[in-house]
């Protein structure tokens, strides 16, 4: 993406003031083939909106979405539908994302029919193959969603996303609603599928412990902007942006020696995206803020392999 924005206008009627919500506000980001890129941040920071705008499930306000050299933001509806075969999403809620009145076969066949996969026989065979791929028995094809557990439903959601052999998949909090043990199984499945099918994942989550085991690189989002991007290990070992440091310090620690140690706690609420603070958007919560932070917005800059938007990155 290049300078991608999504602004929503609220109000503006006869008696109400017009407010602009800057849900995504100038995000430039490269995602590499076959990597897992995790996008993290507190709820309301614009993660889900960014994922949807990248697939044009929501239309961008401005900016560019490049996919294999093609600018998706300029495609008409028909051309975009064709591209969508390759760009898919697995939603958060396995309970809400499957139509309860449809059999699994119908759910999986729908995207295949939309993209003219082939004969009824070929579609039936592909549906069975998709269930195999996600570790469910073919005999479930005639069942309805309510007959499955949460983890099984999420497997069906993944199968549906893979129906047309995509290469880029947005996973929007795809394991957040699941129990920890089921979460691990679904993450293992996603890893295996990535290796077998050469998938690229854009993994949206607020759960940093999942990110650490699963992602190659991480982007940290705050109030519509990316504040830090880097390799997972580097970012966890040595956060450069104060907001990243606070997010990481809130992750429960497995190492008993680390438990009970004092950790920095993030104070204050997230400012309203309708009324953004001047200068650095994080300055109202940042213990390191200086005068310049209140007046000048920090631009992203490169430090080693990292992109950081902060006037005073932690190392310095």
Contacts with ligand SF4, residue ranges (CB under 6 A): 242, 280, 282-283, 286, 288-289, 293, 298, 310-312
Between 117 and 312, whose beta carbon lies closer to ligand SF4?
A: 312
> Judged by CB, which is closer to ligand SF4: 153, or 285?
285
**In angstroms, what is the minimal distance from the CB of 283 to ligand SF4?**
4
Q: Work out the number of other CB atoms within 10 angstroms of the CB of residue 143.
A: 16
* Minimum distance from residue 280 beta carbon to ligand SF4 (Å): 3
| Rounded least distance, CB 61 to ligand SF4, Å | 25
Long-range Cβ contacts of 80-84 (<8 Å, 24+ apart) = 80/56, 81/114, 82/115, 84/55
Reference 219, options 67, 54, 101; nearest CA is 54
Q: For residues 105 and 228, which CB has a smaller minimum distance to ligand SF4 in the complex?
A: 228
- 156 vs 293, which CB is nearer to ligand SF4? 293
Closer CB to ligand SF4, residue 8 or residue 288?
Answer: 288
Separation of CA 167 from chain center: 15
Torsion of CA 236, 239, 241, 243, to 10 degrees: 40
Comparing CA positions, the residue from 223, 218, 206 lying closest to residue 25 is 223
Q: Which residues pair with residue 24 across a beta bridge?
A: 6
Please say whether the beta carbons of 156 and 98 come within 8 A. yes
| Least distance CB 130 / ligand SF4 (angstroms) | 45
- Region of 11 on the Ramachandran plot (φ > 0 left; ψ -120 to 50 alpha; else beta): left
Nearer to ligand SF4 by C-beta: 130 or 280? 280
Q: Beta partners for 275?
A: none
Min separation Cβ 302 and ligand SF4, Å:
16
How far CA 276 is from CA of 5, 226, 245, in Å, comes to: 15, 15, 22
Closest distance between ligand SF4 and the C-beta of residue 294, in Å? 8
Residue 256 CB, nearest approach to ligand SF4 (Å):
32
Residue 227 main-chain phi, psi, to 5 deg: -105, -20
Q: For ligand SF4, which is the closer residue by CB, 145 or 298?
A: 298
């Amino acid at each position: 993406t290049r300078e991608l924005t999504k602004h929503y206008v609220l109000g503006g009627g006869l008696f109400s003031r017009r407010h602009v919500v800057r849900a995504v506000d100038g995000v430039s980001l490269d995602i590499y083939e076959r990597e897992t890129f995790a996008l993290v941040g507190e709820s309301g920071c614009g993660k889900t909106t960014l994922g949807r705008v990248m697939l044009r499930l929501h239309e961008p306000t401005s900016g560019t979405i490049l996919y294999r050299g093609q600018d998706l933001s300029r495609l008409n509806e028909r051309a975009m539908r064709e591209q969508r075969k390759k760009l898919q999403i697995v939603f958060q809620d396995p309970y809400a994302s499957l139509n309860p009145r449809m059999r699994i076969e119908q759910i999986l066949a729908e995207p295949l029919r939309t993209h003219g996969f082939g004969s009824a026989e070929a579609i039936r065979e592909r549906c069975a193959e998709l269930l195999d791929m996600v570790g469910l028995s073919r005999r479930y094809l005639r069942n309805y969603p309510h007959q499955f557990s949460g983890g099984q439903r999420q497997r069906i959601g993944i199968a549906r996303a893979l129906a047309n052999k995509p290469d880029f998949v947005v996973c929007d909090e795809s394991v957040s609603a699941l129990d920890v043990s089921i979460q691990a199984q679904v993450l293992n499945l996603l890893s295996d599928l990535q290796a077998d099918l050469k998938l690229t994942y854009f993994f949206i989550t607020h759960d940093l412990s999942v990110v650490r085991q699963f992602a190659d690189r991480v982007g940290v989002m705050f109030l519509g902007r990316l504040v830090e991007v880097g390799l997972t290990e580097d970012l966890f070992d040595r956060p450069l942006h104060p907001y990243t440091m606070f997010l990481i310090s809130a992750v429960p620690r497995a190492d008993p020696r680390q438990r009970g140690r004092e950790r920095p706690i993030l104070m204050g609420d997230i400012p309203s995206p309708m009324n953004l603070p001047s200068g650095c958007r994080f300055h109202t919560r940042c213990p390191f803020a200086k005068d310049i932070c209140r007046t000048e917005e920090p631009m992203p800059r490169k430090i080693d392999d990292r992109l950081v938007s902060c006037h005073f990155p932690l190392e310095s």
